[in-house]
Amino acid sequence: MASYATAVADTFPKLLIRNAKLYGSRPAMRHKDLGIWQTWTWGQVLDIVRAYAVGLHRLGLKRGDTIAVVGANRPKLYWSVMAAQMVGAIPVPVYADAVADELAFVLDHADVRFAAVEDQEQVDKILSVSQKLPKLEQMIYDERRGLRDYDHARLRPIDDVVAEGRKALAEDASAVAWLDAQIVSGKGSDPSIILYTSGTTGASKGVLLTHERSILAGSDTVAFDKLTEKDVALAYLPLAWVGDHYLNYVQGMIAGFCIACPENTDTAMQDLREIGPSFYFAPPRTLEMLLTRVTIRMEDAGFLKRKLFHYFVGIARRYGERILNKQPVPLSGRLLYRLGDFLVYAPLKNVLGFSRVRVAYTAGEAIGPELFGFYRSIGLNLKQLYGQTEAFLYVTAQPDGEIYSDTVGPAIPNVDIRITDNGEVLFKSPGMFTGYFKDEAKTAEVMTEDGYVKTGDAGFFDEKTGHLKIIDRAKDVGKLNDGTMFPPKYIENKLKFYPNIREVVAYGDKRDFVAVMINIDLAAVGSWAERNNVVYGSYQELAGHPLVYDIIEKHVAEVNRSLAADKVMGGAQIRRFLILHKELDADDGELTRTQKVRRGFIADRYASLVTALYDGSSEADIATEVTFEDGRKGTISARVKIRDMKTEPAAGALEKAA
């Protein structure tokens, strides 16, 4: 081991060996199982992964093969990635909540011969589409429950594979020599993983990344945020998402920090409080959900607690950002903030699991300035980044002390950004992908002749800060018939900043005005309904309630006032809106697995509602097919009301009139 532990760690197996040498007795991975946290050191992980790699090889996995990894964040699935890389195979993570047909697409497209899965649910999904997967030879699984009576001719537990490998390493010197040779022969230019895109604009594409480029990118950000082996991260994001692979797996391997896996998705927030991570990532949706829960609980609290909370939140908003950035603050303000920290901020961060967080990031969607400012004001070092799977995540990030809610920061070290004449953001980065798997045409389509990647996003550099601002997907930015610019995501995000609104789809391109379809947030609006004695029996019933429409109308009116103050966007105010009768769902194809809106698909599926928004109708009938958790199909029918909105005089129009 020592012979190549000191060599250049240009592959992840070599990094694993380096970590076992440097941090052998330090925790590498934790997992909460049956309510108890289990811990594995770097030395133990290396021993397990070596045995696992030999076991996989004896099953037939060889260099260049692809192996699917399907399930939630569990140590054995992370070890499946490590063991595959040690053999020279290419892991292909797949979203655990993908329906069977989505799973079949990825496994077939990636030419998968082996699949490492979490449990019976994933085994059943793959077996249900096995006729579409003629290349699949073996499935290995983590959780044994429910699988005892299955045909095990092509199915076996991961534990058994590891045990066979461990026995071979103990009894057969040639197995040891073979494994060592595989590790030594691994090159930085070898493919390390295939990550499939979310498929917002079409079929998912397999993004091919290499060991060397991934390690280069990860090393830059580990240095940027000063991550070390003493840090801890909670791995609760989907395994198949670039964010989890980069932020947890790659940065963890480079810095040597500990990855903690929650017991399951339902306990993730409780487990967050118990593990107390020092490095944390959450999309705006998660941060909104957490704050919504806090707000709901405070509304139900006693008078004194409510007053105390709101008073000190006001103090935090006045002084918190300056204190976090180590800027001058009056002594009285500093003393009040310390008192607020003792009474409110520290207990609140403890409840949320943020007490030990040193660095926190959010990305994926725009975050509201109020939401962003709230977390920073109570002392959470929350920052924004902008990235893509093709970049291997980071393109920009906010340095400490240069935090603005409306930007995503400057280019990360060693990344170059260019803005085209039509506003599209291009980048060149150390971690950028080598191409789309089995799709040279699509690869050529997104690459420029001089090696930059086209992001498809429209943006510009802010003159005051030099930071990048992202407006929308370049292809989605349209114009109203009067020539007013129409960036749908910009408008959608303004509405999604309200806790009562979960999702929005805006229309207006090549039309006379802007109209939107809205999903309410069931937790937030449901809490309001309980406090105000509004009786409802389902999401559909609550969404159609006139008082709920009144609440949403106020939010839309506020957004219109905000748009009216913008010289460019004043003409893009919302004229009509409706509240959808069902929540948009990834299982129904309306959202991607990373919860991004599939705008084109929704426009087709809800065509009758879109038509009604623009033909003056006050209501419209709709029948929508839905997919239940067990895969069965059903239909939800509703008569959806449409409400008209008043618009405000636009700033540009007022100037012309003057």
Please name the helix (run of DSSP H) or strand (run of DSSP E) that holds residue 206, with its range, or none.
strand 206-210
* Close Cβ partners of 610 (under 8 Å, ≥ 6 residues apart): 507, 515, 517, 603
In tens, the pLDDT along 137-174 reads 999 999 999 999 999 999 999 999 999 999 999 999 99
575 and 640, same domain (yes or no): yes
Residue 25 within a domain: yes
Closest CA relative to residue 494, chosen from 582, 550, 574: 574
SS3 387: strand
Q: What is the pLDDT of residue 201?
A: 54
- For residue 113, tell me if it sits in a domain: yes
Cα–Cα distance, 227 to 247 (Å, whole number): 11
Average pLDDT for residues 575-592, to the nearest whole number?
90
481/410 Cα distance (integer angstroms): 35
Which of 236, 264, 281 represents a domain boundary (last residue)?
A: 281
In this structure, is residue 214 part of a structural domain? yes
> Does residue 225 sit in the same domain as residue 314?
no
Q: Report residue 213's pLDDT band, with 50, 70 and 90 as the boundaries.
A: very high
Which one of 252, 281, 310 terminates a domain?
281
Nearest to 242 by CA among 394, 380, 127: 394
The CATH number for 95's domain is 3.40.50.12780
Measured distance CA(49)–CA(69) in Å, rounded? 15
Distance CA 118, CA 161 (A): 14
The answer to whether residues 641 and 605 belong to one domain is: yes
Residue that finishes a domain, picked among 380, 397, 416: 380
What is the predicted pLDDT for the residue at 630? 65
Beta bridge partners of 40: 29
Please check whether residues 95 and 123 belong to one and the same domain.
yes
* Same domain, yes or no: 314 and 254: no
Closest CA to 569 of 468, 490, 474, 505: 490
The pLDDT confidence band at residue 8, using thresholds 50, 70 and 90, is low
Same domain, 275 and 290: no
> Domain of 329?
283-380
What tens digit of pLDDT does each residue of 368-424 get?
788 899 999 999 999 999 999 999 999 999 999 899 988 999 999 999 999 998 889
Higher pLDDT pick, 631 / 231: 231
Cα 595 to Cα 590: distance, rounded to the nearest angstrom:
9
Q: Residue 7 — very low, low, confident or very high, per pLDDT cuts 50/70/90? A: very low
In this structure, what CATH number is given to the domain that contains residue 619?
3.30.300.30
What order of strands is seen across the sheet that includes strand 424-428?
416-419, 424-428, 453-461, 468-473
Per the domain annotation, does 536 fall within a domain? yes
9 and 150 part of one domain: yes
pLDDT of res. 348? 95
Q: What is the pLDDT of residue 9?
A: 87
Q: Are residues 525 and 556 in the same domain?
A: yes
In a domain, 231, yes or no: yes
- pLDDT value at residue 227: 97
Cα–Cα distance for residue pair 644/364, rounded to 1 Å: 31
Strand partners, 427: 417, 453
In a domain, 470, yes or no: no
Other CB atoms within a 10 A radius of the CB of residue 562 amount to 14
Alpha carbons 402 and 217: distance in angstroms, whole number: 21
Q: Select the more confidently predicted residue: 2 or 50.
A: 50
Residue 438 lies in a domain: no
Cα-Cα end-to-end distance for the chain = 78
Q: Indicate the average pLDDT of the chain.
A: 92
Do residues 311 and 389 make contact, with C-beta atoms less than 8 angstroms apart? no
How far apart (Å, rounded) are the C-alpha atoms in residues 47 and 42? 9
Count of domains forming the chain: 3
Residue 657 has pLDDT above 50, yes or no: no
Find which of 111-125, 190-204, 360-374 is predicted with most confidence, using mean pLDDT.
111-125
- Is 297 found in the same domain as 168? no
**Using one digit for the tens of pLDDT, what is the confidence trace for 305-339?**
999 999 999 999 999 999 998 889 999 999 999 99
Mark whether 35 and 124 lie in a shared domain. Answer: yes
Q: What is the C-alpha separation between 535 and 426, in angstroms, rounded?
A: 51
Locus of tokens 């097919």 = 625
Q: Is residue 413 part of a domain?
A: no
216 and 323: one domain?
no
- Per-residue DSSP letters for 355-373? TT-SEEEE-SS---HHHHH
How big, in percent rounded to 5, are the helix, strand and coil portions of the chain?
45, 20, 35
pLDDT in the model for residue 62: 95
Same domain? 265 vs 337: no
The per-residue pLDDT for range 473-515, each reduced to its tens digit, is 888 888 899 988 898 988 998 898 888 999 999 999 999 999 9
For residue 5, the model assigns a pLDDT of 38
| Res 274 pLDDT > 90 | yes
Distances (CA, A) of 169 to 172, 215, 621: 6, 29, 66
Instruction: Tell how strand 90-94 and strand 66-70 pair up.
Output: parallel
